[in-house]
Structure 1
Amino acid sequence: MQTIRGPAIFLAQFMGEEQPFDSLEHLAVWASGLGYKAVQLPTDPRLFDLALAAGSQQYCDDIAGMLAGHGLQISELSTHLQGQLIAVHPAYDALFDGFAPVHVRGNPAARRVWATEQLMFAAEASRRLDLRAHVTFSGALAWPYLYPWPQRPAGLVETAFAELGRRWRPILDAFDAAGVDVCYELHPGEDLHDGVTFDRFLQEVDGHARANILYDPSHFVLQQLDYLAFIDIYHARIKAFHVKDAEFRPTGRQGVYGGFSDWRDRAGRFRSLGDGQIDFKAIFSKLTQYDYPGWAVLEWECCLKHPQDGAAEGAEFIRKHIIRVAQHAFDDFAGSTVRQEQINQLLGLAR
């Protein structure tokens, strides 16, 4: 077994216009001061030049060196927004155009070409940074048809997943060449949002070894999915981990779908670490048991608590939950050296 690495923090929710949130170095000083050991780095041009990183070892070394000077590593690069644009249903074109640069907005085909190129850059940048995992979204073609009313035409879901697999296959191959796992955050709004949909996708990409999972239990609480059993089933594919809390408190008025309420008033909502219902002791135990190889990364999203308080509390929360693995069995003190002849005698095989 190995000890989970951490604490790390996803910087996406903390970027801003004012110090210390206005640049990667200022964020590094802030995160390090809170006790974090790594940052999950969004490939946002305000923090990180993805195209430059793909082509320049010097740029990657400079970024890694600057972070190391503040006691930090990169846990993973993130292309959540670009991954979303690999597959967009036309109903969401206008809303998701804001994730793309101005020159491809209003042109879904050009936007997808740009997003694919971004993922290819991310594969090479991850290789240059000596990373082993990358986090992203899958995008969605079938999401508007999640609820089977009106009845879905036969073949609609199958066609959507076949197309999703076709779009992602060359990207997965590029990450394979770079030696990096693609970890999809299973998230409502994405075609990959639970175990069943992940299995469908795996079938379309022939069980591609680089198609893996960013495990975030908060999204499973809101779906009422057994987030501990999920680890038992999919632990071999879990290569990244968002530590994010949530709660689900259904009422006589609303449940999983939330009644179009805002986040504060939904039955299911995200919370700062320790304020929700998730059993993180059990999660960290299971991931340790299954030899999870990566980082424990705080993703802060809460409709009540101030983000800086959530970040400050999150570092200590993760630190306390990381299990330092034992180097020998707890009952080794009672062990004794037994020869094979004695074992045979004990089993009645020496007669």
Structure 2
Amino acid sequence: MTQIKGPGIFLAQFVQDQAPFNNLTNICQWVASLGYKAVQIPTWDKRLFDLKLAYESQTYCEEIQGVVREAGLEISELSTHLQGQLVAVHPAYDKQFDGFAIDEVKNNPQARMHWAIEQVGMAAKVSANFGLKAHATFSGALLWQTIYPWPQRPPGLVEDGFAELAKRWLPLLNKFEDVGVDVCYELHPGEDLHDGVTFERFLEATGNHPRANILYDPSHFVLQQLDYLAFIDIYHDRIRAFHVKDAEFRPNGRSGVYGGYQDWQNRPGRFRSLGDGQIDFKQIFSKLTQYGFDGWAVLEWECCLKHPDDGAKEGAPFITKHLIRTPEHAFDDFASSDENPLLNRKILGLEL
């Protein structure tokens, strides 16, 4: 049997201008000192990583790999979450999502989209240069503002939205196919791919593209009140990346899933540090192991209460505790016998 690798950590939430969070060398040494074995690198933050330079220079890729290895780490995946978001943006969100783009394309939705597509496309080659098999991203959204069916959606609106989303992503999926890397969409509110049904719609629109896969993060399913364990049973063949993030959902008499425009601390559904929420990680690790997931278990730390340093320190031992070392043989092999077709037939009553 294969087994899950870990613990890894997504660096995006920890980057700052102060040491040890201000460059790749320092932050890798910091996470290694906490017990992590791999880093998931955000490709939009040049304090850590220059995606364009990595695309143009194999020497730079080797330098990055050297920094990571010097700290005793591996790269689990690269991330283009912010660029992927910008592949598809409804005009209602233009001003808010301009903050994810470089200055040269702000206030120009078409230029911003083309920049985002170019960025994700570069990440395909760079991921391959690092020998990676999976890439983490968001899908973007054209339909999110229609998430609640009021006013009624015109017939064909959803189909047209997914057709356009697929049109934008298919050339990118083909680039990842050319280099043998899976695109792992984090199913996330705010994205058109946010649950199993929407992922299936996207698969259909892309002709079941083999590189269209899932970054499994149970926290987003808790906040949607989706069965995150049954999800693994249904979609395990497409789960190629894994964020270990906790959450809780505590509805009350004043607000529920939609949250009432409240901040994170006051919403019924909120993200928590590992072990502080409601997610059954023992069952998640068991199911993923059972289905042969052999990727990295990567902490994505987000918590509305706890300090990030404490969340990071607690994350590595939490993940390590949940990793399942798979056996070389079955527990009841001591009672096995050699294969004997004649004996089998006698047991079945077919040979007297």
TM-score of the aligned structures, taking structure 2 as reference length? 0.99
Matches within 5 A, 1:22-101: 22-43=22-43, 44-101=45-102
Structure 1 residue 336, shift from structure 2 partner: 2.0
Query: In structure 1, what is the Cα distance between the partners aligned to 2:139 and 2:216?
Result: 14
Match of 1:138 in 2: 139
Matches within 5 A, 1:152-171: 152-171=153-172
Match of 1:3 in 2: 3
Query: In structure 2, what is the Cα distance between the partners aligned to 1:338 and 1:149?
Result: 63
Match of 1:207 in 2: 208
Structure 1 residue 340, shift from structure 2 partner: 2.0
Greater shift in the superposed pair: 340-349 or 184-193: 340-349
Query: In structure 2, what is the Cα distance between the partners aligned to 1:225 and 1:213?
Result: 16
Match of 1:347 in 2: 348
Matched residue type, 1:130: G
Matched residue type, 1:28: C
Render the CA deviation track for 1:148-184: whole Å, top value 9, x for unaligned: 1111111111111100000000000000001000000
Structure 2 residue matching 1:316: 3-state secondary structure: helix
Query: In structure 2, what is the Cα distance between the partners aligned to 1:17 and 1:167?
Result: 35
Matched residue type, 2:42: P
Query: In structure 2, what is the Cα distance between the partners aligned to 1:241 and 1:218?
Result: 11
Match of 2:113 in 1: 112
Q: Name the CA shift for 1:349/1:166 in 2 (closer, same or farther; >3 Å).
A: same
Segments ≥4 residues shifted beyond 4 Å: none
Match of 1:309 in 2: 310
Contact 2:24 2:67 in 1 (8 A): no
Matches within 5 A, 1:10-21: 10-21=10-21
Structure 1: gaps (5+ residues): none
Structure 2 residue matching 1:246: 3-state secondary structure: strand
Query: In structure 2, what is the Cα distance between the partners aligned to 1:181 and 1:197?
Result: 18
Structure 1 residue 13, shift from structure 2 partner: 0.1
Structure 2 residue matching 1:163: 3-state secondary structure: helix
Structure 1 residue 242, shift from structure 2 partner: 0.3
Structure 1 residue 202, shift from structure 2 partner: 0.4
Matches within 5 A, 1:297-336: 297-336=298-337
Q: What is the aligned residue count?
A: 351
Render the CA deviation track for 1:64-122: whole Å, top value 9, x for unaligned: 12211111000000000000000000000011111111111010000011000001110
Identity in percent: 68
> Aligned-pair RMSD on alpha carbons?
0.8
Structure 2 residue matching 1:265: 3-state secondary structure: coil
Match of 1:175 in 2: 176
Structure 2: gaps (5+ residues): none
Structure 1 residue 338, shift from structure 2 partner: 4.3
Render the CA deviation track for 1:305-335: whole Å, top value 9, x for unaligned: 0000000000000000000001100001111
Matched residue type, 1:243: V
Query: In structure 2, what is the Cα distance between the partners aligned to 1:191 and 1:46?
Result: 30
Structure 1 residue matching 2:265: 3-state secondary structure: helix
Contact 2:9 2:39 in 1 (8 A): yes
Query: In structure 1, what is the Cα distance between the partners aligned to 2:52 and 2:326?
Result: 39
Query: In structure 1, what is the Cα distance between the partners aligned to 2:317 and 2:265?
Result: 25
Match of 1:250 in 2: 251
TM-score of the aligned structures, taking structure 1 as reference length? 0.99
Match of 2:231 in 1: 230
Query: In structure 1, what is the Cα distance between the partners aligned to 2:339 and 2:195?
Result: 49
Matched residue type, 2:318: F
Query: In structure 2, what is the Cα distance between the partners aligned to 1:46 and 1:190?
Result: 27
